Amino acid sequence: MTERVKLIWDFRGPNAQPIAIHHAKHLAEFAETDKLQNTITGNEEITPMHHIAYMVVEKSLMNTLRETLKPTRGQIYEE
């Protein structure tokens, strides 16, 4: 299987959860509009005051998407 990367957007503070949920919706819309294959989007709670939105993509798309979407950070995705 191709190596994949998890692009991550961090949100902190009392409104972090609804912002992360909303951002994840936009990431899913972006993936659909750009016809990105094998993409996973979502959000997670790290702590009650720290939530993330994420998009998992093939590593070959990482540089292009990093320039376009400006994630906070990224990591290798392991299923």
CATH code of the domain in which 33 resides: 3.30.70
User: Cα(63)–Cα(54) distance, rounded to whole angstroms?
Assistant: 16
d(CA 56, CA 38): 8
Enclosing domain of residue 22: 4-77
Cβ-based neighbours of 45, under 8 Å, separated by 6 or more: 17, 51
Number of domains in the chain: 1
Contact 53, 42 (CB under 8 A): yes
pLDDT tens readout for residues 42-72: 999 999 999 999 999 999 999 999 999 999 9
pLDDT digits (tens, 9 = 90+) for 10-49: 999 999 999 999 999 999 999 999 999 999 999 999 999 9
